[in-house]
Protein backbone atom coordinates (compact mmCIF):
# COMPACT_ATOMS: atom_id res chain seq x y z
CA UNK A 1 0.00 0.00 0.00
CA UNK A 2 3.04 2.25 0.15
CA UNK A 3 2.54 2.95 -3.57
CA UNK A 4 -0.39 5.20 -2.62
CA UNK A 5 2.15 7.81 -1.50
CA UNK A 6 3.28 8.24 -5.09
CA UNK A 7 -0.15 7.88 -6.63
CA UNK A 8 -1.87 10.49 -4.48
CA UNK A 9 1.12 12.80 -4.23
CA UNK A 10 1.08 13.00 -8.02
CA UNK A 11 -2.63 13.81 -8.08
CA UNK A 12 -2.22 16.41 -5.33
CA UNK A 13 0.71 18.11 -7.09
CA UNK A 14 -1.41 18.47 -10.22
CA UNK A 15 -4.47 19.78 -8.36
CA UNK A 16 -2.67 22.11 -5.95
CA UNK A 17 -2.03 25.01 -8.38
CA UNK A 18 -5.74 24.92 -9.27
CA UNK A 19 -6.78 25.18 -5.61
CA UNK A 20 -8.55 21.82 -5.84
CA UNK A 21 -8.42 18.63 -3.76
CA UNK A 22 -9.08 14.89 -4.07
CA UNK A 23 -11.11 12.80 -1.63
CA UNK A 24 -10.01 9.30 -0.65
CA UNK A 25 -11.85 6.18 0.45
CA UNK A 26 -9.17 4.03 2.09
CA UNK A 27 -10.29 0.39 2.50
CA UNK A 28 -7.96 -1.38 4.90
CA UNK A 29 -7.80 -3.52 8.02
CA UNK A 30 -5.32 -0.92 9.29
CA UNK A 31 -5.29 2.88 9.34
CA UNK A 32 -1.73 3.03 7.92
CA UNK A 33 -0.97 6.11 10.00
CA UNK A 34 2.22 5.05 11.74
CA UNK A 35 5.37 7.14 11.63
CA UNK A 36 8.98 6.07 12.25
CA UNK A 37 8.47 7.07 15.89
CA UNK A 38 5.36 4.91 16.40
CA UNK A 39 5.71 1.91 14.09
CA UNK A 40 6.16 -1.48 15.79
CA UNK A 41 7.35 -3.09 12.54
CA UNK A 42 9.26 -0.40 10.67
CA UNK A 43 7.30 -1.19 7.51
CA UNK A 44 6.64 1.77 5.21
CA UNK A 45 3.38 0.14 4.10
CA UNK A 46 2.07 0.96 7.56
CA UNK A 47 2.78 4.68 7.05
CA UNK A 48 1.32 5.88 3.72
CA UNK A 49 -1.81 7.62 5.00
CA UNK A 50 0.21 9.42 7.68
CA UNK A 51 2.66 10.63 5.02
CA UNK A 52 -0.13 11.82 2.73
CA UNK A 53 -1.57 13.79 5.65
CA UNK A 54 1.78 15.42 6.41
CA UNK A 55 3.39 13.19 9.05
CA UNK A 56 6.45 11.01 8.57
CA UNK A 57 10.07 11.05 7.42
CA UNK A 58 11.18 13.97 5.24
CA UNK A 59 12.26 11.59 2.48
CA UNK A 60 8.63 10.52 2.03
CA UNK A 61 7.03 13.89 2.79
CA UNK A 62 9.12 15.46 0.03
CA UNK A 63 7.26 13.30 -2.49
CA UNK A 64 4.08 15.19 -1.63
CA UNK A 65 5.65 18.62 -2.12
CA UNK A 66 5.46 21.67 0.15
CA UNK A 67 2.20 20.68 1.84
CA UNK A 68 0.27 17.49 2.62
CA UNK A 69 -1.33 15.69 -0.31
CA UNK A 70 -4.61 15.13 1.55
CA UNK A 71 -6.84 16.92 4.01
CA UNK A 72 -8.21 14.86 6.92
CA UNK A 73 -11.78 15.97 6.24
CA UNK A 74 -11.52 14.44 2.76
CA UNK A 75 -10.54 10.95 3.93
CA UNK A 76 -12.70 8.00 5.00
CA UNK A 77 -11.14 4.74 6.18
CA UNK A 78 -13.34 1.67 5.77
CA UNK A 79 -12.99 -1.68 7.55
CA UNK A 80 -10.32 -0.91 10.15
CA UNK A 81 -9.94 -3.50 12.90
CA UNK A 82 -6.22 -3.59 13.71
CA UNK A 83 -4.92 -0.17 14.76
CA UNK A 84 -1.65 0.03 16.68
CA UNK A 85 -2.01 1.71 20.07
CA UNK A 86 0.98 3.86 19.18
CA UNK A 87 -0.64 5.25 16.02
CA UNK A 88 -4.14 5.79 17.46
CA UNK A 89 -3.28 9.22 18.94
CA UNK A 90 -2.40 10.60 15.49
CA UNK A 91 -5.61 9.19 14.03
CA UNK A 92 -7.61 10.95 16.74
CA UNK A 93 -5.57 14.16 16.52
CA UNK A 94 -6.08 14.57 12.77
CA UNK A 95 -9.76 13.68 12.88
CA UNK A 96 -9.70 11.25 9.97
CA UNK A 97 -13.07 9.48 9.81
CA UNK A 98 -12.49 5.79 10.50
CA UNK A 99 -15.37 3.37 10.01
CA UNK A 100 -14.27 0.35 12.02
CA UNK A 101 -15.75 -3.08 11.46
CA UNK A 102 -17.47 -2.68 14.84
CA UNK A 103 -19.25 0.44 13.59
CA UNK A 104 -20.19 -1.20 10.30
CA UNK A 105 -21.70 -4.09 12.26
CA UNK A 106 -23.54 -1.83 14.69
CA UNK A 107 -24.94 0.73 12.24
CA UNK A 108 -25.10 -1.34 9.08
CA UNK A 109 -22.57 -1.30 6.25
CA UNK A 110 -24.76 0.48 3.70
CA UNK A 111 -25.47 3.68 5.69
CA UNK A 112 -21.83 3.91 6.75
CA UNK A 113 -20.62 3.57 3.17
CA UNK A 114 -23.02 6.20 1.85
CA UNK A 115 -21.88 8.55 4.60
CA UNK A 116 -18.21 7.85 3.85
CA UNK A 117 -18.58 8.55 0.13
CA UNK A 118 -20.56 11.71 0.81
CA UNK A 119 -17.76 12.92 3.07
CA UNK A 120 -14.95 12.47 0.54
CA UNK A 121 -16.87 13.95 -2.39
CA UNK A 122 -17.80 17.14 -0.53
CA UNK A 123 -15.45 19.97 -1.45
CA UNK A 124 -13.32 17.82 -3.77
CA UNK A 125 -13.07 17.10 -7.49
CA UNK A 126 -14.07 13.51 -6.79
CA UNK A 127 -12.67 10.45 -5.09
CA UNK A 128 -9.76 8.06 -5.26
CA UNK A 129 -10.45 4.50 -4.08
CA UNK A 130 -7.41 2.99 -2.39
CA UNK A 131 -8.34 -0.63 -1.70
CA UNK A 132 -6.09 -2.87 0.38
CA UNK A 133 -7.23 -6.45 0.02
CA UNK A 134 -6.54 -7.13 3.69
CA UNK A 135 -9.63 -5.03 4.33
CA UNK A 136 -11.55 -8.09 3.17
CA UNK A 137 -12.01 -11.03 5.52
CA UNK A 138 -9.27 -13.67 5.02
CA UNK A 139 -11.98 -16.24 4.29
CA UNK A 140 -12.62 -14.40 1.03
CA UNK A 141 -9.14 -12.91 0.51
CA UNK A 142 -6.45 -15.22 1.90
CA UNK A 143 -3.70 -14.00 -0.44
CA UNK A 144 -2.50 -11.01 1.58
CA UNK A 145 0.57 -10.41 3.72
CA UNK A 146 -1.18 -9.11 6.82
CA UNK A 147 -4.52 -10.93 7.18
CA UNK A 148 -6.82 -9.88 10.02
CA UNK A 149 -9.97 -11.88 10.85
CA UNK A 150 -13.38 -10.24 10.90
CA UNK A 151 -13.14 -8.11 7.77
CA UNK A 152 -15.47 -7.09 4.98
CA UNK A 153 -17.39 -9.88 3.32
CA UNK A 154 -17.13 -10.45 -0.41
CA UNK A 155 -20.54 -8.84 -0.88
CA UNK A 156 -19.66 -5.82 1.27
CA UNK A 157 -16.42 -5.37 -0.66
CA UNK A 158 -18.27 -5.41 -3.96
CA UNK A 159 -20.74 -2.88 -2.55
CA UNK A 160 -17.87 -0.49 -1.80
CA UNK A 161 -16.74 -0.67 -5.41
CA UNK A 162 -20.26 -0.49 -6.84
CA UNK A 163 -20.92 2.64 -4.77
CA UNK A 164 -17.65 4.17 -5.94
CA UNK A 165 -18.87 3.85 -9.51
CA UNK A 166 -22.39 4.97 -8.68
CA UNK A 167 -21.12 8.31 -7.34
CA UNK A 168 -19.89 9.12 -10.87
CA UNK A 169 -17.02 10.81 -9.04
CA UNK A 170 -14.37 8.07 -9.19
CA UNK A 171 -11.15 9.65 -10.48
CA UNK A 172 -8.60 6.98 -9.60
CA UNK A 173 -8.16 3.59 -7.98
CA UNK A 174 -5.55 1.17 -6.75
CA UNK A 175 -5.98 -2.43 -5.65
CA UNK A 176 -3.06 -3.45 -3.46
CA UNK A 177 -1.45 -6.11 -1.26
CA UNK A 178 -2.27 -9.13 -3.41
CA UNK A 179 0.35 -11.80 -2.67
CA UNK A 180 -0.06 -14.72 -5.10
CA UNK A 181 2.34 -16.90 -3.12
CA UNK A 182 -0.10 -16.82 -0.19
CA UNK A 183 -3.27 -17.15 -2.26
CA UNK A 184 -5.45 -20.25 -2.52
CA UNK A 185 -6.16 -21.27 -6.11
CA UNK A 186 -6.15 -17.58 -7.16
CA UNK A 187 -9.13 -16.86 -4.91
CA UNK A 188 -7.88 -13.40 -3.94
CA UNK A 189 -6.67 -12.63 -7.44
CA UNK A 190 -10.11 -13.36 -8.86
CA UNK A 191 -11.74 -11.23 -6.17
CA UNK A 192 -9.44 -8.33 -7.06
CA UNK A 193 -10.61 -8.53 -10.67
CA UNK A 194 -14.27 -8.57 -9.61
CA UNK A 195 -13.72 -5.52 -7.42
CA UNK A 196 -11.94 -3.57 -10.14
CA UNK A 197 -14.56 -4.23 -12.81
CA UNK A 198 -17.31 -3.34 -10.32
CA UNK A 199 -15.66 0.00 -9.62
CA UNK A 200 -15.41 0.55 -13.38
CA UNK A 201 -19.12 0.02 -13.78
CA UNK A 202 -19.99 -3.65 -14.24
CA UNK A 203 -23.52 -4.28 -12.99
CA UNK A 204 -25.73 -7.33 -12.59
CA UNK A 205 -28.43 -5.97 -14.90
| Count, residues in the chain | 205
Q: What is the pLDDT of residue 61?
A: 97
Distance CA 91, CA 89 (A): 5
Question: 204 pLDDT exceeds 80?
Answer: no
Model confidence pLDDT, tens digit, residues 52-91: 999 999 999 999 999 999 999 999 999 999 999 999 999 9
Question: 149 pLDDT exceeds 80?
Answer: yes
C-alpha distance from residue 148 to each of 51, 71, 120, 129 (Å)? 23, 27, 26, 20
- pLDDT-based confidence at 203, cuts 50/70/90? confident
Mean of the pLDDT values across residues 38-56? 96
Model confidence pLDDT, tens digit, residues 5-24: 999 999 999 999 999 999 99
Model confidence pLDDT, tens digit, residues 22-39: 999 999 999 999 999 999
Residue 175 forms beta bridges with which residues?
Answer: 131
The whole-angstrom distance between residue 197's C-alpha and the CA centroid of its chain comes to 18
What region does 59 belong to: left with phi over 0, alpha with psi -120 to 50, or beta? alpha
Mean pLDDT of all residues in the chain? 97
Question: 182 pLDDT exceeds 90?
Answer: yes
SS (H, E, C) the chain: CCHHHHHHHHHHHHHHHHCCCCEEEEECCCCCCCCCCCCCCCCHHHCHHHHHCCCCCHHHHHHHCCCCCCCHHHEEEEEECCCCCCCHHHHHHHCCEEEEHHHHHHHCHHHHHHHHHHHHCCCCCCEEEEEEHHHECCCCCCCCCCCCCCCECHHHHHHHHHHHHHCCCEEEEEEECCCHHHCCCCHHHHHHHHHHHHHCCCCCC
> Catalytic residue numbers?
1, 28, 30, 32, 45, 132, 134, 177
Question: 205 pLDDT exceeds 90?
Answer: no
Amino acid sequence: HAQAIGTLAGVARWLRPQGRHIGVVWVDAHTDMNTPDTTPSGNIHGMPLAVLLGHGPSELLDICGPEPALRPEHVSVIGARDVDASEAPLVRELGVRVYTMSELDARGTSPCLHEAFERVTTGTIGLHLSFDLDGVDPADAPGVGTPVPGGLTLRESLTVCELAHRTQALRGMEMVELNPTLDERNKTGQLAVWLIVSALGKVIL
